[in-house]
Amino acid sequence: MKFSYNWIREFVPGLEVDPHSLERLITMKTAECDGIAVSGELLKGAVLARVLEVENIEGQKNVKALVDAGPYGMKTVVCGAANCRAGIITAYVPLGIKTVSGIESDGMLAAADELDINRDHAGILELTADTVLPPVDHAIEIDNKSITHRPDLWGHHGMAREVAAITGHPLRDPADLSLLPPLGSPVQIEIEDFHLCPRYSALVFDNVTVQPSPLWLQARLTAAGLNTKNNIVDLSNYLMAELAQPTHAFDRAKLAGATIFARPAREGESIVALNDETYHLSPANLVIADASGPIAIAGVIGGRDSAISAVTTSIVFESANFNASSVRRTSSALKIRTDASMRFEKAQDPVNTLRALARALELLPILSPGIRLVGGLADNCAELKVPPTISLDLDWLARKLGRVLDPAEVRRILEALQFKVSDDFEVSVPTWRATKDIAMAEDLVEEVGRMIGYDSIEPQPPLVPCAPSFDPPEREFLRGIRRHYAAQGFTEVSNYSFISEEEAKRFGFAPEDHVRVLNPIAEGQELMRTSLLPGIHRNLVENAKHFEDFRLFEVGREIHLSNGEKPIERPHVVAAIYSRHDDGRAGLMELKRVSGGELRPAAAMAWEHPSRAAEVVKHGQVVGRVFELHPNLIDSGRAAVLYLDLTQLQQLGAAATRYQSVRRFPTSSFDLSVICPAREYAATLETAIRGFAGELAEAVEFVTDYQMPDARKSLSFRIVAGAADRTLAGAEVTAIRERIIEGLRGLHYELLV
């Protein structure tokens, strides 16, 4: 936001601090400034000048003008403006002699945008002999984020109040409430919900002349970063920039009936706004309406059909206060953000509506000579609440600040900021600071601290004992899970907790079983996920476009509905191995190893390969699944997926680790190949082999399988035999082998021996 240096000085008599010094003071004590720009730099030497003669230049659109430049004497100027003609009074700027179109041109005749008066470049200024050119100004730009909690600082008078407190100068109030007439307006105000519209005030004027604003007003608005249009619209922008109070003028002749309504929009209503866009409204949008329907979107933008035009002669000038959240929701829903909506979103002071009207009563006769007030004031408002007082303990203040202050200094600071302070330091908060800004004693500490300067407080180490903090068990557990998968070569991904209805349906999840987001941050993120699978599937599809093999994992939370209660969040981990060329078995075997559990065949889910799905079992409990992604969900290659419930894993705890001494005696191993049906599970045979091998079999490992031509397969296992107290004799190893062979043959398996 831009602040005019000249404008601030009007409210702080005697202020002599230069713009750059003032910028630093504001940054250190109030809000962060982004820099200073000179506004109207060419005005420094500009004067009124009369064009005496104009001569065309052959072959050029430019003309040669003889100009009476007042104190600069007679000048010859080459000008390209279409309205340059003999007799016109305009602005002359002495820029020295330059050759233009082969002719020496001494200085220039200026357009309005070149002098930063407005943004018009259609031609040179057309002025009158009594015109006073505005002075050069400096625009101090302040970061909007640093004043988002200070609605009073969205106007020049609010910033001037800060400057007066910082520099110790008096503050002049531009609003004279004694100018307001008594109640008795020809228009009536009806407010349906005072929560949405705490106050609505208006005045009616006749004999209005719509015309360009004087140059001083145009230049001031331009310095503040606002556009100019005509005297009535410019006045509305001027009041907003001065008092932080948005206002609006309706053409009274275009209004239906004598009552203005502040109400929620009716279902099916729409409005064509000042930007010529049509907006379809809902009851969630507050509108200003007449008897025929909406004439403005409250706090956001006015309607085109009731707008001021060149033929307007009677206006309703309104100044209102709206609920900040309501304006923000409407602005976001309709995707329209204006200077007015930005201020209303910050929670404006309801008292400010009358201040803006009082200021308008002072300025309108200047901007539209002959204008006449019709009737009195229209004002409808909720009961205005008096902000509660705050007790300020000076000893407590000293402890909080780290510096002892004289009570008189504390009082001076607070009163300079226009707080009222009693003898026992009961502090009354001004209404413009009581709208979600100052509410407790800690807020007053900040007010005092920033005004004395935080650099005046000597840094001291904390005087309280410090002890290291420890992460809660769940966080440390999740960190361990991440370390485990990263150590296995997996790359961690992080997906949003939101998915689209299409993604939910792709995995067979019913959208109605999800928590629905009322204000999704983007299209396609309207549901909160009940599974991590849609996100990891998206990662697989995108990465498969660029890589032939990769590993991914994510640790995240599922969000589940809970019978009207607060949704339940359960942490899960999903890991995936993708390969473009192999048959996918290696990925499944790798995930079995990584899972640390046993696999038990299970019926496939809708998103799983029909014959490649299993449950992961640990300590007798099912904690997740290993499966290959269904071919319909991935265009090429194979993706093996591990999905585990981390809540169950944490509850089961890690298996106890027992010390084993280093083996002193060697082991013996041998391989066996078992011929079995093509759909036989290796785990079934592995369990049988363990049972037949006995206690001396230290390990039974699946090695490989081979598909035979007759719809059978051969499964190979390696059996490791050994004893802790001796080396097994050949006969003992042979006996183990024979027991296994006889046992398997007894189960009708054929062996290759």
- ∠ at Cα 387 (381, 388), nearest 5°? 145
My answer on whether 207 and 245 are in the same domain is yes
Query: How does pLDDT run across 508-563, given as a tens digit for each residue?
Result: 999 999 999 988 888 889 999 999 999 999 999 999 999 999 999 999 999 999 88
Number of structural domains found in the chain: 6
My answer on whether 451 and 478 are in the same domain is no
Cβ of 1: how many Cβ atoms within 10 Å? 22
Q: Which uninterrupted H or E stretch holds 714?
A: strand 712-721
My answer on whether 19 and 142 are in the same domain is yes
Q: Does residue 90 contact residue 109 with C-beta atoms inside 8 Å?
A: yes
Q: State which residues form the domain around 146.
A: 2-40+137-167
Q: Of all residues in the chain, what percent carry a pLDDT higher than 90?
A: 84
C-alpha 288/C-alpha 150 separation (Å) is 26
Residue 297 has pLDDT above 80, yes or no: yes
Of 9-13, 385-389, 660-664, give the lowest mean pLDDT range.
Answer: 660-664
C-alpha 601/C-alpha 608 separation (Å) is 13
pLDDT of residue 79: 95
Task: Please indicate, yes or no, if residue 127 is contained in any of the structural domains.
Answer: no
- DSSP calls for 401-464: HTS---HHHHHHHHHHTT-EE-TT-EEEPPGGGTTTT--SHHHHHHHHHHHH-GGGSPP---SS
- pLDDT band at residue 467, thresholds of 50, 70 and 90? confident
My answer on whether 504 and 559 are in the same domain is yes
CATH code where residue 721 lies: 3.30.70.380
Task: Please indicate, yes or no, if residue 466 is contained in any of the structural domains.
Answer: no
Domain boundary among 381, 405, 426: 381
Task: Please indicate, yes or no, if residue 746 is contained in any of the structural domains.
Answer: yes
Q: Of all residues in the chain, what percent carry a pLDDT higher than 70?
A: 100
Q: To the nearest whole number, what is the mean pLDDT of the chain?
A: 94
**C-alpha of 627 from chain center:** 39
Query: How does pLDDT run across 153-210, given as a tens digit for each residue?
Result: 999 999 999 999 999 999 999 999 999 999 999 999 999 999 999 999 999 999 999 9
Task: Please indicate, yes or no, if residue 172 is contained in any of the structural domains.
Answer: no
Query: How does pLDDT run across 479-514, given as a tens digit for each residue?
Result: 999 999 999 999 999 999 999 999 999 999 999 999
My answer on whether 354 and 246 are in the same domain is yes
Q: Does residue 474 contact residue 555 with C-beta atoms inside 8 Å?
A: no
Query: How does pLDDT run across 323-366, given as a tens digit for each residue?
Result: 999 999 999 999 999 999 999 999 999 999 999 999 999 999 99
Can you tell me which residue has the tokens 């809540």?
647
| Maximal C-alpha separation, the chain | 128
CATH code where residue 149 lies: 3.30.56.10
My answer on whether 189 and 223 are in the same domain is yes
Task: Please indicate, yes or no, if residue 662 is contained in any of the structural domains.
Answer: no
My answer on whether 47 and 23 are in the same domain is no
pLDDT of residue 647: 93
My answer on whether 683 and 586 are in the same domain is no
Section 373-393 average pLDDT: 94
My answer on whether 193 and 338 are in the same domain is yes
| Buried-state track 93-107, b at ≥16 Cβ within 10 A, e below 16 | bbeeeeebeeeebbb
Q: What is the pTM of this model?
A: 0.68
My answer on whether 397 and 439 are in the same domain is yes
- Nearest CA to 586 out of 538, 633, 542, 549 is that of 549
* 274 or 463, greater pLDDT: 274
Task: Please indicate, yes or no, if residue 97 is contained in any of the structural domains.
Answer: yes
Q: Tokens for 145?
A: 């984020």
**C-alpha of 105 from chain center:** 52
Task: Please indicate, yes or no, if residue 69 is contained in any of the structural domains.
Answer: yes
Can you tell me which residue has the tokens 């050069």?
136
Cα distances (Å, whole numbers) of residue 671 to 668, 685, 704: 11, 14, 11
Q: Does residue 648 contact residue 666 with C-beta atoms inside 8 Å?
A: no
Q: Does residue 531 contact residue 558 with C-beta atoms inside 8 Å?
A: yes
The CA dihedral of 626, 628, 630, 633, to the nearest 10 degrees, is 100
Domain boundary among 456, 487, 504: 456
- Nearest CA to 612 out of 649, 586, 580, 579 is that of 586
Q: Does residue 748 contact residue 672 with C-beta atoms inside 8 Å?
A: no
CATH code where residue 74 lies: 2.40.50.140
Is residue 247 exposed (0-12), middle (13-18) or buried (19+ Cβ within 10 Å)? buried
Task: Please indicate, yes or no, if residue 404 is contained in any of the structural domains.
Answer: yes
Query: How does pLDDT run across 590-616, given as a tens digit for each residue?
Result: 999 999 888 888 999 999 999 899 999
My answer on whether 436 and 290 are in the same domain is no
Query: How does pLDDT run across 709-734, given as a tens digit for each residue?
Result: 888 999 999 999 999 889 999 999 99
pLDDT of residue 177: 96
Residue 655 has pLDDT above 80, yes or no: no
Query: How does pLDDT run across 39-92, given as a tens digit for each residue?
Result: 999 999 999 999 999 999 988 999 999 999 999 999 999 999 999 999 999 999
Residue 656 has pLDDT above 90, yes or no: no
pLDDT of residue 710: 87
My answer on whether 452 and 572 are in the same domain is no
Section 579-584 average pLDDT: 88
Beta strands in 136-292, from DSSP E residues, in sequence order:
137-142, 188-191, 199-206, 247-251, 259-264, 270-272, 278-280, 286-290
Q: Does residue 327 contact residue 198 with C-beta atoms inside 8 Å?
A: no
